């Protein structure tokens, strides 16, 4: 009787180890990767400090030189 109880407990433990624990499945099994950017923005260097900013965010002076912000535009080329 003790052997039968021992076999039953071993089978029960094995079933719990195989099916009882939550395991990631499908997409959860792989780490999430960031999505690649759709389109790269053209970058220009600030005429004062040299920091690169997207063309859409750059501020240009009267001569067309790009700047990273209003403060550097006011200071002029550096």
Q: Look at residue 16 and tell me if it is in a domain.
A: no
Residue 26 has pLDDT above 80, yes or no: no
Q: Look at residue 74 and tell me if it is in a domain.
A: yes
Residue 73 has pLDDT above 80, yes or no: yes
Q: Look at residue 77 and tell me if it is in a domain.
A: yes
Total domain count, the chain: 1
Q: Look at residue 12 and tell me if it is in a domain.
A: no
DSSP string, 6-64: HHHHHHHHHHIIIIIS----GGGGSPP-PPPPSSPPPEEE-TTT--EEETTT-EE-TT-
Domain that holds residue 49: 41-78
Q: Residue 49 — very low, low, confident or very high, per pLDDT cuts 50/70/90?
A: very high
Q: Look at residue 32 and tell me if it is in a domain.
A: no
């Amino acid at each position: 009787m003790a052997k039968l109880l021992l076999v039953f407990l071993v089978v029960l433990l094995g079933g719990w180890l195989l099916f009882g624990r939550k395991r990631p499945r499908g997409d959860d099994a792989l780490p999430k990767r960031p999505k690649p950017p759709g389109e790269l923005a053209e970058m220009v260097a600030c005429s004062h400090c040299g920091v690169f900013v997207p063309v859409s965010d750059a501020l240009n002076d009267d001569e067309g030189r790009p700047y990273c912000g209003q403060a550097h535009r006011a200071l002029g080329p550096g």
